[in-house]
């Protein structure tokens, strides 16, 4: 069993990110059982959950003439447009049915503000609006975090980099992640990890 000072952050293992979902990450469901086993080894487990209102501003359907995976400029900076996904209360927003959610100490919902997306479990995409996760982990006495989930090159990447920026010793386990890999995003994520001192094991 890992020490109380070490937390596992499990990012967005939800139906819409798994096979057949609205924003399918190739091989997404393959990590469910390995992550379930991994959670048994941690005393502090956090699950993040993408939780968008209908007509969220990051949906391509809200921008006439635009297609999913196109990049636009939002008031807070560049934003990838996505298919409608993880809409609050929908089957797609639910955790994968085989994920052992009972292991979680905290389920943190993100992306629920209509005008701003949220990749990171720590911040909205404006990079200033916090989710409260930093304070929660500090209150629990956590000094080291391990990050797994979907997708490696977006929400896992942003969460891990933010954890490291906050001073947590941060590790990503690629074996327990899957990536979208669009327009070089996976290579960008790997470089970002190196630049911010995020270890990959």
Catalytic residue numbers, as ranges = 12, 110, 155
Buried b (16+ CB within 10 A) or exposed e, 34-62: ebbebbeebebbbbbbbbbeeebbbbbee
**In contact, 192 and 182? CB cutoff 8 Å:** no
Residue entry with tokens 């900076």: 77
What are the angstrom distances between the C-alpha of 52 and each of 20, 23, 41, 82?
19, 13, 31, 12
Whether the CA torsion 201, 129, 52, 79 is positive or negative: it is negative
CA 141-145-146 angle, to 5 degrees, is 150
């Amino acid at each position: 069993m890992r020490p109380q000072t070490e937390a596992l952050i499990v990012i967005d293992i939800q139906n819409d990110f798994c096979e057949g979902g609205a924003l399918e990450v190739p091989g997404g469901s393959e990590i469910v059982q390995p992550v379930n086993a991994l959670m048994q080894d941690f005393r502090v487990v956090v699950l993040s959950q993408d939780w968008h209102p209908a007509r969220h501003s990051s949906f391509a359907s809200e921008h006439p003439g635009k297609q999913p995976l196109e990049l636009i400029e939002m008031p807070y900076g560049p934003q990838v447009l996505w298919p409608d996904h993880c809409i609050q209360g929908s089957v797609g927003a639910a955790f994968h049915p085989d994920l052992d959610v009972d292991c979680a100490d905290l389920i943190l919902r993100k992306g629920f503000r209509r005008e701003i997306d949220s990749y990171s479990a720590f911040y909205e995409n404006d990079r200033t609006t916090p989710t409260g996760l930093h304070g929660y982990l500090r209150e629990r006495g956590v000094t080291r975090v391990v990050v797994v989930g979907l997708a490696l090159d977006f929400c896992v990447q942003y969460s891990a980099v933010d954890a490291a920026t906050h001073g947590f010793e941060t590790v990503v386990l690629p074996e327990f992640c899957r990536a979208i890999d669009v327009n070089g995003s996976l290579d960008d994520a790997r470089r970002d990890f190196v630049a911010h001192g995020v270890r990959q094991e």
